[in-house]
Amino acid sequence: MKAILLWAMSPLLLTAFFAQSDQSASPAQAENTILVFSATRGFRHASIPDGIKAIETIAARNNWKVVATEDSSVFNTNNLKQFSAIILLNTTGNVFGPNEEAALQQYVRSGGGIIGIHAAADCEYEWPWYNQLIGGYFESHPAIQSATLVVKERHPSTAHLGSSWIHKDEWYNYKSVSPAIKVLLELDEKSYEGGKMGASHPIAWYQEFDGGRLFYTGLGHTSEAYQDEKFLMHVTEGIRWAMRKK
């Protein structure tokens, strides 16, 4: 199934697309359709187009459809029914209005899957439910550098890794991390400079939350990350898990 890229479309064209999809989408199509949302109201990552392209490649390999947009008006209850997963790709700041927040909550409570990539944790600081969903808020980061990641759980998203993985990225420190999350990867703070969380520094995790599923990875700042096959496999299997294909 061909991936569809709509992030550059006007709101009018997006409305027409969703109206048509409401009439024609079959349950099978809905089960294999992903929404990629990359709106920013704060820092904007230059790697966002690379991330969209990488997700399109992942989708093509798995016979999924991708709808990519930065128009938050697509977050309404009827539209979101079409998607088996929503990827929040480096979103920053307050990107949702009250009605859109309610639609996202309803989507999750109906069993929907959310994938947060990197700056999804640098988003919606005034919305406590979102913080609980994502599992933590960004606080700070040192310079981009290589670090050792320790695999904490053999989840589908980490099954391809050894006991540890050396990767170069921008490493977030988090204000706090929910005790409900299940940690997949931890940073070894002895392997790089600027870590502030001590012996337990989660950088990727998952959870069942409020009826839905959340997979979050703190990796994905750089353009180079979206050419790294280990990272792409990490994201691919995180999407599969959120879509309940694992």
Structural domains counted in the chain: 1
Mean pLDDT in residue range 162-185: 97
Domain assignment present for 6: no
Residue 10, pLDDT score? 42
* Residue 2 confidence (pLDDT) above 50: no
The rounded distance, in Å, linking the Cα atoms of 153 and 158 is: 7
- pLDDT by residue (tens digit) across 210-230? 999 999 999 999 999 999 999
Question: Per residue in 84-111, pLDDT tens?
Answer: 999 999 999 999 999 999 999 999 999 9
Q: Which CATH number fits the domain that encloses residue 213?
A: 3.40.50.880
> Is 121 a domain residue?
yes
**Is residue 71 in a domain?**
yes
C-alpha dist (Å) from residue 33 to 2, 40, 179, 197, 201: 11, 23, 31, 37, 33
* Mean pLDDT of the region 3-22: 44
Give yes or no for residue 31 having a pLDDT over 70. yes
pTM check: above 0.85: yes
Measure the CA–CA gap between 29 and 234, rounded to whole angstroms.
24
Question: Would you say residue 5 lies in a domain?
Answer: no
Which pLDDT does position 27 carry in this prediction?
45
Q: Which amino acid belongs to residue 76? A: N
Q: Is the pLDDT of residue 5 over 60?
A: no
Alpha carbons 56 and 3: distance in angstroms, whole number: 6
Distances (CA, A) of 164 to 15, 74, 177, 186: 45, 39, 21, 9
Helix, coil or strand: residue 28? helix
Q: Give dist(CA 75, CA 192) in Å, integer.
A: 39
Q: Is the pLDDT of residue 245 over 90?
A: no
What does 222-239 look like in DSSP terms, one character per residue?
Answer: STGGGG-HHHHHHHHHHH
In a domain, 90, yes or no: yes
**Is 3 domain-assigned?**
no
Q: Which domain holds residue 168?
A: 11-242
- Specify if 77 maps to a domain: yes
Query: Does residue 140 register a pLDDT over 80?
Result: yes
**Would you say residue 2 lies in a domain?**
no
For 90, 143, 191, 217, the CA distances from 116, given in Å and listed in that order, are 8, 22, 25, 6
